[in-house]
Amino acid sequence: MEKLLLGLDLGMSTAKAGLFTATGRQVALASEEYLQIPEGVPVLEADAELFWRAVCAVIREALAMAGAGSAERVAGVSISSHAETLIILGEDGQTVRPAILSPDSRAEQEAAELTALVGNDWILERTAQPEITAMWPACKLAWLKRHEPDSLAAATHILLPPDFIIYRLCGAAVGEAAAWLSSVMLDITSQAWLAPVLDYAGVRQEQLPQLLAPGTLAGRVTAQAAAETGLAEGTPVAVGCMDQICAGLAAGNVRPGIVTASTGSVLALMATTPAPVFDHVTKIPAYPHAVPGLYCLLPWNPTGGMVLKWYKDRFGQLEEQQAQGSGASVYDLLTGPAAEVPPGCDGLTMVPHLQGVLFPEVNPAARGAFIGFSLMHTKAHFTRAILEAIAYMLRSGVECLRGLGVNVEEVRVLGGGARNRLWNQIMADVCQVPIATPANLEAAVLGAAMLAAVGAGVVPDALAAAEMMVGIAGRYLPDVALAGVYGEGYTRYNRLYQKLYS
């Protein structure tokens, strides 16, 4: 029977499991929300076993969807995950204390001390991370050193979420470099641990995981893990990669010239580069790629597709009712009339930064605005203004990348926004760059499955996995005739932001 590859994606609040064939065809997809994270709370902790139980649940559900005998067909498993959440295991392999979640910001004092000790420039030149923040694991560990020295002393393994899941699956304490870079404890080029940061954090190198390249075989599913997940004992477990990079891999972002843009809650870009880029101006972080020898830049802004969701939730009640009655997509009903509005929205412009901005400059105080509306503007104008605003934000990201010497030939769009043909065309016209949409939009899960294929020996490397498992569903070419009107709109967009926040 046809072999299957299992990809896992452990987000901050949701776990997913996807089963794919060696050609990238999706056979099953399971999802479970396992954690609600409150906003504005500095101390955020959770039992790390929640992560494991959620992963077990979605694996079992995906196997059930695939049918009888599916566990024996799984050739390999790997994981895409968020980083920065800190998990500490003792000698018995059990957690010493609750996990300190990624957004936890209690370590402000430690971040300030580490900045004073080594400096942001020193960190950037070694880790390609632009600054030291309280969220980074080095600062969280320093907080434990100060406030819970016994917890740190009891640590046999200090892990991040993907490392923890691999440990539970096969018993190996291994990780990969990209996830650990934002710990600010790792050199991006040599992938060696940084002794001054480890000393400040109170960590010994032997407590940290062995770092392996994505797609490397980490071990095999143990009898205990098989009993909990439903997988067959002995199934190969491969090292994965952080979620944004896995998603890029699943879109075929495996060479310079291709940029991926996720229009999910945030707007997150990924650009492949042949060498690490140390950005002292825009402060865009860089990471090792899932393809050995390559690197990537990951600029992102806190608001992306969530702007359209906010608009739908506040002003789309009629479309919600129509969608319930017709079975149509509420977003298609909402954005459909916007196609009749001329490019440039008859002078209506939106500033989409509902919760701050990170590029082209860092300004957490920035907020959204609609400017230039009059009695002639309709709801469709406001809808289109949102679509154009996110496209302008994407153009800003593309220009930031080009300013760093990055070649941008094509943008491949991921996330819910990729399903909207109007939005895709607007992005192509605004950026004057071809837009492509991958065949499978569950990109992080597929990217993990691709690395599982590498680890299991189904394909020789990540480049071969991209050749076999990635498909493009559609392409949107820019209309050169609209370059002028959107150029004026982009100038107006930037000028409004400067007047509001400079």
From 485, 459, 417, select the one nearest 264 (Cα to Cα): 417
DSSP 318: H
Closest CA to 19 of 30, 31, 33, 34: 30
Which domains occur in the chain, in start order?
A: 4-239 (3.30.420.40), 305-396+480-501 (3.30.420.40)
DSSP H or E segment with residue 270:
strand 267-273
Q: Which two tokens stand for residue 23?
A: 């050609």
What is the pLDDT, as a whole number, of residue 264? Answer: 83
Is residue 18 pLDDT above 80, yes or no? Answer: yes
Which residue in 252, 248, 242, 283 sits closest to 262, CA to CA?
Answer: 248
- The Cβ-side half-sphere exposure at 223, using a 13 Å CA radius, reads 0
Q: 3-class SS at 493?
A: helix
Q: Is the pTM of this model over 0.85?
A: yes
Cα 191–Cα 196–Cα 202 angle in degrees, nearest 5: 100
What pLDDT, in 10s, does the model give residues 50-100?
999 999 999 999 999 999 999 999 999 999 999 999 999 999 999 999 999
**Residue 274 vs residue 39, higher pLDDT:** 274
Which residues is 14 bridged to in the sheet?
33
C-alpha–C-alpha distance, residues 204 and 13, integer Å = 30
Q: What is the pLDDT of residues 153-166, one digit of tens each?
A: 999 999 999 999 99
| Kind plus residue range of the DSSP H or E element containing 446 | helix 443-455
Indicate the SS3 state at residue 323: helix
Q: Report the pLDDT averaged over residues 461-484.
A: 98
SS3 track for 203-264 = CCHHHCCEECCCCCEEEECCHHHHHHHCCCCCCEEECCEEHHHHHHHHCCCCCCEEEEEECC
Task: Say if residue 465's pLDDT is above 90.
Answer: yes
Mean pLDDT of the chain: 96
**Residues in the chain, total:** 502
Whole-angstrom distance, CA of residue 15 vs CA of residue 430 = 34
- pLDDT grade, residue 415 (50/70/90)? confident
Q: Percentage of the chain surpassing pLDDT 70?
A: 100
| CA 64 remoteness from chain centre | 27
pLDDT at 86: 98
DSSP state of 181: H
- The pLDDT of residue 265: 84
Closest to 413 (Cα-Cα) out of 386, 441, 445, 446? 441
Taking residue 392's Cβ as centre, other Cβ atoms within 10 Å add up to: 26
Phi–psi pair at 26, nearest 5 degrees:
-80, 125
Summarised one tens digit per residue, pLDDT across range 290-332 is: 999 999 999 999 988 899 999 999 999 999 999 998 989 999 9
How sure is the predictor about 352, in pLDDT bands with cuts at 50, 70 and 90?
very high
Q: Can you give the pLDDT at residue 48?
A: 97
CA 449 to CA 493: how far, in whole Å? 40
Query: At residue 502, does pLDDT exceed 80?
Result: no
Euclidean distance between CA atoms 414 and 422, whole angstroms = 15
| pLDDT for the residue numbered 327 | 86
Q: Which residues contact 499 (CB under 8 A, 6 or more apart)?
A: none
What is the rounded distance in angstroms from the CA atom of residue 346 to the CA atom of residue 489? 10
pLDDT, tens digit, 9 for 90 and up, residues 444-455: 999 999 999 999
DSSP 356-375: BB-SSS-BTT---EEES--T
Question: Token pair 């896995």 is at which residue?
Answer: 246
CA distance linking residue 223 with residue 227, whole number of Å: 6
Q: What is the mean pLDDT of residues 341-356?
A: 96
Q: Looking at the predicted structure, is the pLDDT value of residue 1 above 90?
A: no
| Chain segment 130-141, per-residue pLDDT in tens | 989 999 999 999
Q: Which amino acid is at 258?
A: I
What's the mean pLDDT in 4-26? Answer: 97
Check whether 390 has a pLDDT greater than 80. yes
* Backbone dihedral angles phi then psi of residue 405, each to the nearest 5 degrees: 85, 15
Which range among 251-255, 334-338, 412-416 shows the weakest confidence by mean pLDDT? 412-416
Checking if the pLDDT of 362 tops 90, the result is no
